[in-house]
């Protein structure tokens, strides 16, 4: 069962050459992941070693159990604001519980096959909160970049900006020099030596310079957080109570949703780079299991990392083994070199996170959406501002709600209900809306073209369009519904109201109705009220049926000539075509 559930096709045809590729890519990504793991942990308000533990445990499990062959899992920048907020509000222990609960949610999302639902989150919402997160990360590193002292970290963006201005006088030249060196190397290394990870080179060089030429002049990981232990993390099951679950379920849900979005976006990027296909539900299950186990060893929430996954592919990864190797490499480096990591200046970590923030900012997509000046632009700006100035949870909730409201408004605007008649100038006498005028409109047969979905946002307008124009009570109401792709129960309710009201004095005919709307009418019993004999596949058949049920006395003397048969019914003995042509000439 395990084989079928997790490993099908992922290691088929695996060879020694594939292992060599995985070993190289795993080594490169593992080396890159170490400074990032520590930086993300520090920015999230926890000790740097917890980021390393996450990289090891979650990295191995996500690759082993996930649905993408090339996914690299671990701590990511997207989580920083939400994790920092949880640590500030509830503490580190409760962060572990939140991560564990998020893992359970992710697991059930995969089990219940909800992976495909992530694609329904609008792009303006994802770009809005991603850009907002990038701003928060960037601003959050200014204090470390400048070496400011006594700066308190707050959950509020405004409070953090205020802290920077209050303590700007404590700027440390050595910190600025260290951060500047690291930043230059992070930016230049990929251009000069594409195969060498820039963050690692920047970190090593700036740390070496600071240690040799001005020791004790800048804050380091060791001076701020203490020595990084070289031992493996201890297993400890968190104390989960019903009270804590109630308290942390909302943060856990936010972590789960954000993690699912990030991991599946990363998997899609990997698919595009390798022409492969990931399994979204299995990916969520793998992410869920990883996030349930990682907190038991002190790790923070993890997800798929787009940049590291792309690096993994570019370095020749052939299978999920590369992701597992990357976790093992980090484990070896932790055991062998942990004491040296304590000498890394915080000023060296700051530019690495700033570059991460810049790269994840979606600035091109943001500008592109902004210049469209549409409803999507509004969703984008609102989500972005709420992410920065309130919090991610509110931003996503309001962004999604606003996107839904605007979508409903747009859909309601494309639903059109218009009175129509046959066009005698058309070879097939097509039923067209513009044919109806004050002097050309059958008093006994009202035909309506209904186009667009009949749902809660458009149903009332549909009813009003018909009821306000049939107050003269025609004998037959014909609804042409061939262009109605969807109907919900609200649409059915308004249609039912029209039919019940109209059936008191006439008959209702429906032509061309699609399967989904007809199914709704069958389930509610409205089709029986209308009568199956009043449903027609073609409008022509419906018109022929309607003409047989007219009050012929009312046709006498009628001058509208809406249908070909009208000249006979009206008792006028002039040539039909002459009358119809006269109408066409006057209309044109």
Which pLDDT value is given to residue 339? 84
Q: pLDDT tens-digit profile of 258-305?
A: 999 999 989 998 999 998 899 999 999 999 999 999 999 999 999 999
Q: Tell me if 550 sits within 8 A of 445, measured CB to CB.
A: yes
Interatomic CA distance for residues 466 and 153, integer angstroms: 61
Q: Tell me if 66 sits within 8 A of 282, measured CB to CB.
A: yes
Interatomic CA distance for residues 564 and 38, integer angstroms: 82
How many other CB atoms are there within 10 angstroms of residue 134's CB atom?
A: 26
Q: Tell me if 179 sits within 8 A of 350, measured CB to CB.
A: yes
Q: Which of 301, 256, 273, 346 is nearest to 77 (CA)?
A: 301
Q: Report the mean per-residue pLDDT for the chain.
A: 89
Tokens of 52: 């390393």
How many other CB atoms are there within 10 angstroms of residue 217's CB atom?
A: 15
Please spell the DSSP secondary structure of 405-467, one letter per residue.
HHHHHHHHHH-EEEEEEE-TTSTT--EEGGG-BTTB--SSEEEEEEES-BSTTTHHHHHHHHH
Q: pLDDT tens-digit profile of 457-473?
A: 999 999 988 887 776 67
What lies within 8 Å, CB to CB, of 283 at 6+ separation is: 66, 67, 68, 71, 110, 115, 263, 264, 267, 304
Interatomic CA distance for residues 267 and 271, integer angstroms: 6
Place of tokens 């073609």: 538
Tokens of 493: 């309710």
Q: pLDDT tens-digit profile of 323-337?
A: 999 999 999 999 988
Task: Supply the DSSP symbol for 117.
Answer: G
Tokens of 514: 């699609």
Interatomic CA distance for residues 569 and 192, integer angstroms: 89
- Beta-strand pair 431-432/416-422: antiparallel
pLDDT of 581 higher than 60: no
Interatomic CA distance for residues 468 and 449, integer angstroms: 15
Q: pLDDT tens-digit profile of 258-271?
A: 999 999 989 998 99
Q: pLDDT tens-digit profile of 413-447?
A: 888 899 888 887 776 778 888 788 877 888 888 89
Q: pLDDT tens-digit profile of 369-420?
A: 999 999 999 999 999 999 999 988 899 899 999 999 999 999 888 888 998 8
Q: Which of 409, 498, 398, 411 is nearest to 448 (CA)?
A: 498
**Diameter over CA atoms, the chain:** 112
Q: Name which residue leads in pLDDT, 508 or 428.
A: 508
pLDDT of 43 higher than 90: yes
Q: How confident is the model at residue 572 (pLDDT cuts 50, 70, 90)?
A: low
Q: Tell me if 527 sits within 8 A of 518, measured CB to CB.
A: yes
So what CATH class is 415-587? alpha beta
Interatomic CA distance for residues 178 and 171, integer angstroms: 13
Q: Tell me if 205 sits within 8 A of 65, measured CB to CB.
A: no
What lies within 8 Å, CB to CB, of 242 at 6+ separation is: none
What lies within 8 Å, CB to CB, of 537 at 6+ separation is: 511, 512
What lies within 8 Å, CB to CB, of 239 at 6+ separation is: 93
Which pLDDT value is given to residue 578? 54
Interatomic CA distance for residues 40 and 31, integer angstroms: 15
pLDDT of 178 higher than 50: yes
Which pLDDT value is given to residue 8? 52
Interatomic CA distance for residues 255 and 195, integer angstroms: 33
pLDDT of 1 higher than 50: no
Q: Which of 467, 457, 420, 471 is nearest to 442 (CA)?
A: 420
Burial class (CB in 10 A: 0-12, 13-18, 19+), 446: buried
Domain ranges within the chain, ordered by starting residue: 23-403, 415-587
Helices and strands, counts by H and E, the chain: 27, 8
Tokens of 472: 């003269």
The helix (H) or strand (E) run that includes residue 534 is none
**For residues 83-104, average pLDDT:** 95
Cα(first)–Cα(last) distance of the chain, in Å?
73
Beta-bridge partners for 345? 220
Tokens of 205: 């060089």
Beta-bridge partners for 417? 450
Tokens of 13: 């045809």
What lies within 8 Å, CB to CB, of 19 at 6+ separation is: 318, 321
Which pLDDT value is given to residue 505? 85
Beta-bridge partners for 416? 451
Q: pLDDT tens-digit profile of 552-563?
A: 878 877 877 778
């Amino acid at each position: 069962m395990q084989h079928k559930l997790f490993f099908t096709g992922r290691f088929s045809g695996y060879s020694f050459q594939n292992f060599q590729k995985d070993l190289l890519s795993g080594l490169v990504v593992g080396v890159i992941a170490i400074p990032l793991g520590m930086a993300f942990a520090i920015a999230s308000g926890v000790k740097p070693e917890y980021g390393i533990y996450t990289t090891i445990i979650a990295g191995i499990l996500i690759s082993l159990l996930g649905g993408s062959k090339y996914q690299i899992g671990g701590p990511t920048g997207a989580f920083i604001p939400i994790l920092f907020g949880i640590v500030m509000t509830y503490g580190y222990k409760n962060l572990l519980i939140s991560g564990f609960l998020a893992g359970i949610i992710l697991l059930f999302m995969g089990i219940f096959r909800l992976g495909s639902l992530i694609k329904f989150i609008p792009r303006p919402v994802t770009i809005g909160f991603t850009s907002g997160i990038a701003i928060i990360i960037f601003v959050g590193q200014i204090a470390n970049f400048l070496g400011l002292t006594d700066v308190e970290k707050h959950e509020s963006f405004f409070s953090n900006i205020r802290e920077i201005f209050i303590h700007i006088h404590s700027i440390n030249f050595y910190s600025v020099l260290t951060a500047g060196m690291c930043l230059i190397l992070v930016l230049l290394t990929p251009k000069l030596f594409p195969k060498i990870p820039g963050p690692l080179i920047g970190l090593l060089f700036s740390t070496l310079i600071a240690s040799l030429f001005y020791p004790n002049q800048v804050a380091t990981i060791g001076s701020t957080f203490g020595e990084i232990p070289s031992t493996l993390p201890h297993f400890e099951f968190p104390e989960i109570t019903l009270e804590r679950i109630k308290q942390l379920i909302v943060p856990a849900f936010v972590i789960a949703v954000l993690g699912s979005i990030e991991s599946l976006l990363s998997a899609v990027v990997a698919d595009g780079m390798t022409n492969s296909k990931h399994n979204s539900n299995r990916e969520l299950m793998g992410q869920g299991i990883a996030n349930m186990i990682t907190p038991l060893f002190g790790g923070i929430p993890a997800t798929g990392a787009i940049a590291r996954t792309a690096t993994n592919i570019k370095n020749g990864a052939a299978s999920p083994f590369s992701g597992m190797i990357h976790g093992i490499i980090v484990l070896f480096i932790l055991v062998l070199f942990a004491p040296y990591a304590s000498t890394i200046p915080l000023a060296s970590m700051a530019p690495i996170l700033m570059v991460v923030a810049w790269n994840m900012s979606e600035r091109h997509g943001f500008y592109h959406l902004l210049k469209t000046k549409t409803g999507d632009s509004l969703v984008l700006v609102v989500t972005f501002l709420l992410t920065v100035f309130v919090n991610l949870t509110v931003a996503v909730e309001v962004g999604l709600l606003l996107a839904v409201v605007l979508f409903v408004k747009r859909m309601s605007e494309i639903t059109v209900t218009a009175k129509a008649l046959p066009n005698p100038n058309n070879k097939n006498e097509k039923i067209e809306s513009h044919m109806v005028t004050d002097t050309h409109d059958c008093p006994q047969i009202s035909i309506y073209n209904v186009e667009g979905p009949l749902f809660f946002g458009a149903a009332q307008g549909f009813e009003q369009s018909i009821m306000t124009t049939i107050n003269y009570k025609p004998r037959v109401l014909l609804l042409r519904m061939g262009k109605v792709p969807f109907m919900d129960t609200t649409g059915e309710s308004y249609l039912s109201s029209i039919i019940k009201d109209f059936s008191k004095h006439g008959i209702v005919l429906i032509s061309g109705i699609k399967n989904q709307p007809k199914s709704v009418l069958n389930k509610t019993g409205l089709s029986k009220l209308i009568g199956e004999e009043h449903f027609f596949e073609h409008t022509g058949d419906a018109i022929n049926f309607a003409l047989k049920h007219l009050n012929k006395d009312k046709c006498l003397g009628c001058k509208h000539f809406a249908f070909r048969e009208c000249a006979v019914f009206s008792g006028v003995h002039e040539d039909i075509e002459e009358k119809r042509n006269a109408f066409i000439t006057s209309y044109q």
